[in-house]
Structure 1
């Protein structure tokens, strides 16, 4: 009888549930205690997402940066540092992603969408509108935060965006991490 219970507990259905849970954990999302998920750049908009529901100290996670705008981003650099406690500056290595392993519904910049921008509020026809290509890019970096004595810690993330026209934009936001 005990043998039958053990066999029932190890059914393939449990394996399917585990793979579904692993897949949903890989979906890029905004964190519950993230100070800002989206922000504007002069040339477009940025969305910063994570592949975990909450950040656990000493467990790596991915940060996904989705960009759409009128200029191409050449690079994103940055670092994070502790707000509550000095933990040093942890560099972020963020690279453009050509094809995704995370679900974020982004396309490479070669699949530019057309955006109609109205030149003058009085002009309503398509013939009188300026057509500009909208660039879509996705960047990703693996991140690991250190553990400290506090159960919860606030981290400030500093990002620098450099465009193909050598313009730079700096943005900061905060996230929370937890000890295991």
Structure 2
């Protein structure tokens, strides 16, 4: 009889112990997101993009960030508008990835951001990236994760399409990941 009572007590104690645990992901995300600083990384093909719709930066942040992103660890991508050409007044220039000086600009609203990741030299599928607006100054943020490759280093391409004032602009940034 004592054996049965002890078994039931052990089972009840185990259930109470397990139900009191919080998932590790919730704890780590809450503490690390606020401490991550978006930055351009050396393996990034470009940090600033000037297009006919405006100038933008693409930055990355990851807890272990150095020159490359580490696979299998979550990271953040920040897309910020530096300035936007006044497309509402019909200013048209050829799209370029070179920064331009003396561009007349005014803040316009990005109506849509769509993006995906793909391997530059190796097919790894298309990984959708979902940007959300983080504030009123046309800054968008997304969280993503890269699959590990058999190679130690892999070049990824992030494709971004912006819709502003019924016009679209697509550009990409290449960056390197390192296997965990």
TM over 0.5: yes
> For the residues of structure 2 that align with 1:31 and 1:81, how far apart are their CA atoms?
18
Scaled by the length of structure 1, what TM-score is found?
0.64
The residue that corresponds to 1:83 in the other structure is: 120
The residue that corresponds to 1:177 in the other structure is: 177
The residue that corresponds to 1:43 in the other structure is: 53
Aligned-residue CA RMSD in angstroms? 1.7
Runs of 5+ in structure 1 lacking a partner? Answer: 1-21, 99-107, 109-135
Scaled by the length of structure 2, what TM-score is found?
0.64
The residue that corresponds to 1:115 in the other structure is: none
Q: 1:66 and 2:75 equivalent?
A: no
Q: 1:151 and 2:152 equivalent?
A: yes
> For the residues of structure 2 that align with 1:78 and 1:174, how far apart are their CA atoms?
13
Q: 1:27 and 2:41 equivalent?
A: no
**Which protein is richer in helix relative to its size?**
2
> For the residues of structure 2 that align with 1:142 and 1:40, how far apart are their CA atoms?
24
1:31 CA displacement = 1.0
Runs of 5+ in structure 2 lacking a partner? Answer: 1-31, 85-105
> What is the aligned residue count?
122
> For the residues of structure 1 that align with 2:147 and 2:43, how far apart are their CA atoms?
18
> For the residues of structure 2 that align with 1:47 and 1:33, how far apart are their CA atoms?
15
> For the residues of structure 2 that align with 1:37 and 1:51, how far apart are their CA atoms?
13
User: Which structure's CA Rg is the greater one?
Assistant: 2
SS in 1 for 2:45: coil
SS in 1 for 2:117: strand
Which structure has the higher relative contact order (CA within 8 Å, separation 6+)? 1
